[in-house]
Structure 1
Amino acid sequence: MSTHDTTVNEAGKRHKHEGPKKHIIAFIFSILLTVIAFSMVAAGEMNSTFVYIMLVFMAILQVIIQMSFWMHMKDRGHIFPIIGILMGVFVVITIVVMAEYWAWW
C-alpha cells in the first residue's frame, strides 16, 4: 500500500480510501432510479397500483444507496446512527398504522 491511498485514524490504524469509482457508480444508479421513477409517472398509462409499488421499492433502494455511499453507513463504527435511524423508522411506521386504525374506528 502506498501512502497516497491510505490515511491514519485516531487509533493509529490505516484506512484505505475507496476512491471515486464507487461514488460515481452510486451517483449513476441514483440518477437512473430517478429517471425511471419520473418516466413511470409521466407515462400515465401504467396501472397505478404497480406504479405506487415500484415507486416505494425504488425509494427504498435510493435510501439504501444514499445511506451506504454518501453517508458512509456501511463503514465500521456507525452502529449507533443505524440503530437510531431504525428506531425512527419503527416509530414512524407505528404512528402511521395507529393513525389509520384511529381513522377507521
Structure 2
Amino acid sequence: MANQQPNSGNPRVDIEYRRKKSKEEMRHQVTSFSMMIFLTLIAFFAVGFQDYSAWFIVPFILLLAVIQVIFQLFYFMHMSHKGHEAPSLFLFSGVLVGFVTILAFSTIIWW
C-alpha cells in the first residue's frame, strides 16, 4: 500500500513514470554494487600489503564491513524506501541489543 505509485489515469504517463523510477533504482543498485566491489578490493589490498600491522588491518576491515552492510541494507534490501520504518526500527533495535550483549559479556570476561 505504501509503495503504490500515483495513478494519473493516463497509461502512457504511468508507464513512463514507472520506467523512470526503475531506471533510477537500477542506477542506485549498480552504483552501490560497484562501491561494494571497490571496498572489497581495498580490503584485499590492505591484507596483502605487508607493512600494515594487524592492529590496523582488523579495525579497518571491520569498518569496511560495516559500510558494506549499510549499502546492502539501504540499496539491496530497499530500507531507504517509504514504508520500511518498522522493519528498520526492529533491525536496528536488534543490532543495539546484540552490541550491548557482546559488550556486557566481554566486560564480564575481561574484568
2:53 maps to 1:78: no
Choose which of 28, 39, 50 in structure 2 pairs with 1:44. 50
CA distance in 1, matches of 2:73, 2:16: 23
Q: How many residues align?
A: 98
The answer for unaligned runs of 5 or more in structure 2 is: 1-11
> TM-score scaled to structure 2, two decimals?
0.76
State the identity as a percent.
Answer: 28
2:106 maps to 1:95: no
The answer for unaligned runs of 5 or more in structure 1 is: 8-14
1:25-55 per-position Cα deviation (integer Å, ceiling 9, x unaligned) = 1111010011111111122321222212211
Residue 3 of structure 1 is matched in structure 2 by: 14
Flag the 1:57–1:103 CA change in 2: closer, same or farther, 3 A.
same
Shift of 1:21: 1.5
**Structure with greater helix percent:** 2
Q: In structure 2, what residue type is equivalent to 1:36?
A: I
Tell me how large the CA RMSD over aligned residues is. Answer: 2.0
> TM-score scaled to structure 1, two decimals?
0.80
1:51-85 per-position Cα deviation (integer Å, ceiling 9, x unaligned) = 12211221111011111110010111101111111
CA distance in 2, matches of 1:57, 1:104: 23
Compare relative contact order (CA 8 Å, sep 6+) and give the higher one, 1 or 2: 2
